[in-house]
């Protein structure tokens, strides 16, 4: 009886081990099925390839972090880094499959590949260049440099704290409704105050700044 139980236990362990191995191989195959094409598409992820309402450019390479003012980077950093990764994953998937699919496993693979392929600083650089910041017809604004020119007619170095907060609040949403834009700006300013990145006086001054009345389009 004891020998029979031992044999049954061995068979059971063998089946469990075989099942676990099958699951691991299936998951690995699933991951590689999506990951390999994504790895070949990273070059496209690093380039802005849309019409830009603010600059008129059709193809613009990613601008390095050092070309952005440190204060803007500090404001931008209050966004959860997971939001950067999801945005980049969405852009990677759309560039590869030309689809807006919300297929969660595909997004999970894309997010893991982005984290594996890029450092935190590089992901911040890509995010600050690639967030969709607004549009007018078929003309789209991507990234903080283009958005500063589009909404305020300024370079990022010329922006006030309130203007930076507005742009960061718009990141990924590009919602032009004044009330919602103001709410987004308020949330970012509140986070900056909570993290002691601005003073109470700067916070109160920023709250009083008016929203931009209209976009600054390039002259024809």
Same-domain status, 88 and 138:
yes
pLDDT tens-digit map of 11-28: 666 667 666 666 665 656
CB of 109 closer than 8 Å to CB of 35: yes
Classify residue 215: in a domain, yes or no.
Answer: no
- Domain presence at residue 216: no
Do 170 and 62 belong together in one domain? yes
In 53-159, where do the E strands start and end? 60-61, 132-136, 139-142
Give the pLDDT confidence of 29-78 residue by residue, as tens digits: 555 656 666 666 666 677 665 556 666 665 566 788 888 888 898 888 88
Under 8 Å between Cβ of 127 and 108: no
- The CATH number assigned to the domain holding 71 equals 1.10.3810.10
Q: Is residue 214 part of a domain?
A: no
Asked if residue 155 is part of any domain, the answer here is yes
- Quote the pLDDT of residue 87: 81
192 token code pair = 């900056």
- Same-domain check for residues 111 and 181: yes
More confident residue, 91 or 25: 91
Count up the domains in the chain and report the number: 2
> Can you tell me the mean pLDDT for 100-122?
77
Asked if the structure places residue 64 within a domain, the reply is yes
- Dmax (CA) for the chain in angstroms is 92
Looking at residue 206, its pLDDT comes to: 92
If you average pLDDT over every residue of the chain, what do you get?
Answer: 76
> Pick from 176, 177, 189: which is nearest to 150 by CA?
176
Q: Where are the beta strands (DSSP E) in the chain?
A: 47-48, 60-61, 132-136, 139-142
pLDDT category of residue 220 using cuts at 50, 70 and 90? very low
- 20 and 94 together in one domain: no
133 inside domain: yes
d(C-alpha 206, C-alpha 172), whole Å: 22
Residue 98 gets the label, from left (phi > 0), alpha (psi -120 to 50) or beta, of: left
Whether residues 174 and 90 fall in one domain: yes
Residue 26 domain boundaries: 1-40
- Asked whether residue 217 is domain-assigned, the answer is no
Q: What is the pLDDT of residue 164?
A: 93
Which one is predicted more confidently, 217 or 110?
110
In a domain, 118, yes or no: yes
- Give which of 81, 104, 82, 100 is closest to 92, Cα–Cα: 100
- Looking at the structure, do residues 125 and 31 belong to the same domain, yes or no? no
Residues 195 and 182 in one domain: yes
99-110 pLDDT per residue, tens: 555 567 777 777
Same domain, 161 and 76: yes
Domain co-membership, 145 together with 191: yes
Least confidently predicted of 48-57, 105-114, 119-128, 165-174: 48-57
Question: Is residue 197 predicted with pLDDT exceeding 80?
Answer: yes
Does 82 lie in the same domain as 62? Answer: yes
Is the model's pLDDT at 193 over the cut of 80? yes
Same domain, 86 and 191: yes
Cα(55)–Cα(127) distance, rounded to whole angstroms? 19
- Contacts of 203 by beta carbon, 8 Å cutoff, 6+ apart: 189, 190, 192, 193
d(CA 158, CA 144): 12
5 and 74 part of one domain: no
Cα three-residue angle 174-220-146, rounded to 5 degrees: 30
């Amino acid at each position: 009886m004891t020998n029979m139980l031992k044999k049954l236990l061995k068979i059971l362990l063998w089946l469990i081990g075989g099942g676990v191995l099958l699951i691991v191989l299936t998951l690995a195959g699933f991951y590689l099925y999506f990951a390999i094409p994504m790895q070949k598409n990273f070059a496209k992820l690093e380039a802005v390839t849309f019409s830009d309402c603010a600059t008129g450019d059709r193809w613009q390479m990613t601008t390095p972090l050092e070309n952005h003012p440190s204060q803007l980077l500090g404001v931008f950093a209050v966004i959860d880094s997971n939001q950067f990764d999801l945005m980049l994953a969405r852009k990677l998937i759309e560039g590869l499959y030309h689809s807006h699919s919300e297929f969660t496993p595909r997004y999970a693979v894309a997010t893991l590949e982005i984290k594996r392929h890029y450092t935190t600083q590089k992901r911040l650089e890509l995010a600050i260049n690639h967030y969709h910041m607004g549009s007018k017809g078929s003309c789209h604004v991507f990234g903080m440099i283009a958005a500063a020119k589009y909404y305020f007619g300024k370079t990022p170095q010329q922006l006030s704290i309130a203007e930076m907060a507005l742009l960061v609040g718009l990141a990924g949403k590009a919602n032009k409704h004044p009330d919602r834009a103001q709410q987004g700006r308020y949330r970012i300013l509140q986070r900056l105050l909570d993290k002691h990145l601005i003073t109470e006086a700067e916070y109160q001054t920023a709250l009083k700044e008016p929203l931009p009345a209209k976009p600054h389009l390039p002259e024809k």
